[in-house]
Amino acid sequence: MSLPIFPPGFLWGASASAFQTEGAVDADGKGPSGWDAFAALPGRIKDGTDTTRGTGFHARYREDVALL
Q: Would the pTM count as exceeding 0.75?
A: no
**Residue 24 backbone class (left: φ over 0; alpha: ψ -120 to 50; beta: rest):** left
Distance (Å, whole) CA 1 – CA 19: 36
Counting residues of the chain whose pLDDT is more than 90, the rounded percentage is: 22
Q: Is the per-residue pLDDT at 64 higher than 80?
A: yes
Instruction: Give pLDDT, residue 62.
Output: 92
Q: Which regions of the chain does DSSP assign to beta strands (E)?
A: none
